[in-house]
Amino acid sequence: MADSTQGFTTHSGIAAPLDQANVDTDQIIPKQFLTGVTRSGYGKHLLHDWRYLDLEEKVPNPEFALNKPEHKGATILLARENFGCGSSREHAPWALADFGFKTIIATSFADIFYGNCINNQLVPVALNSQQMDALFDAVKHNPAEEITVDLEAQTVSCGALRFEFDIAAHHKNNLIKGLDAIGQTLELANAIEAFEAKHASWQ
């Protein structure tokens, strides 16, 4: 597991808008940065193809939302449908978290990516497309306006906007408590042994 002893209860910060559907994990962290053997250092390569005009990452693309001065220091990412689709690479949430994002608010998430976020204390919040439109508008109108994600209350608020979101109880619990998932399962060793004893040996 990621070093996830710190729980997440609520977070307020400014947002960066990534107003595009189907952002895949190849885009979030391209393959040339997957040769590492540790979990750290991926933030500088986050969204490389869109963020930089060159392969050496020396020339930022001034048009790209994450590079705009008004979104500097953003800790919340706004995205659209099917965010994180494609490859199972956990380097994607590692890169997003290393860059400084604490939570991603999107219309929908791909399954594997969603689970990877939960395992890295990066809180994935799904809202409907009208609610996302409202948040994108709010950030466009005033990039300095903070958004608050309250995981305990399951709400997102921004100025006068206040939306509720769904999250599975066990995911919420793990995020709030920052639990060691493997440690929890290892406590069920007796159940695992009992299962193995009755499971066919050829399986």
Q: Which positions touch other proteins (CB under 8 A)? A: 1-2, 20-22, 24, 26-27, 30-32, 34-39, 49, 55, 80-82, 85-90, 93, 108, 110-112, 115-116, 119-120, 168-170, 181-182, 185-186, 188, 191-192, 195-196, 199-203
Q: Please write down the long-range contacts of 96-100, taking CB distance under 8 Å and 24 or more positions apart.
A: 96/28, 96/43, 96/46, 96/122, 97/2, 97/43, 97/121, 97/122, 98/40, 98/41, 98/42, 98/43, 98/44, 98/46, 99/43, 99/44, 99/46, 100/43, 100/73, 100/74, 100/75
Q: 28 or 77, CB closer to other proteins?
A: 28
d(CA 192, CA 194): 5
Q: 14 or 91, CB closer to other proteins?
A: 91
Q: How far is the CB of 96 from other proteins (least distance, A)?
A: 13
Q: How far is the CB of 80 from other proteins (least distance, A)?
A: 7
d(CA 102, CA 76): 6
Q: What contacts 190, CB < 8 A, 6 or more positions away?
A: none
Q: 122 or 138, CB closer to other proteins?
A: 122
Q: 14 or 121, CB closer to other proteins?
A: 121
Q: 69 or 203, CB closer to other proteins?
A: 203
Q: How far is the CB of 166 from other proteins (least distance, A)?
A: 12
Q: How far is the CB of 167 from other proteins (least distance, A)?
A: 12
Q: Is 185 left (phi over 0), alpha (psi -120 to 50) or beta?
A: alpha
Q: How far is the CB of 157 from other proteins (least distance, A)?
A: 26
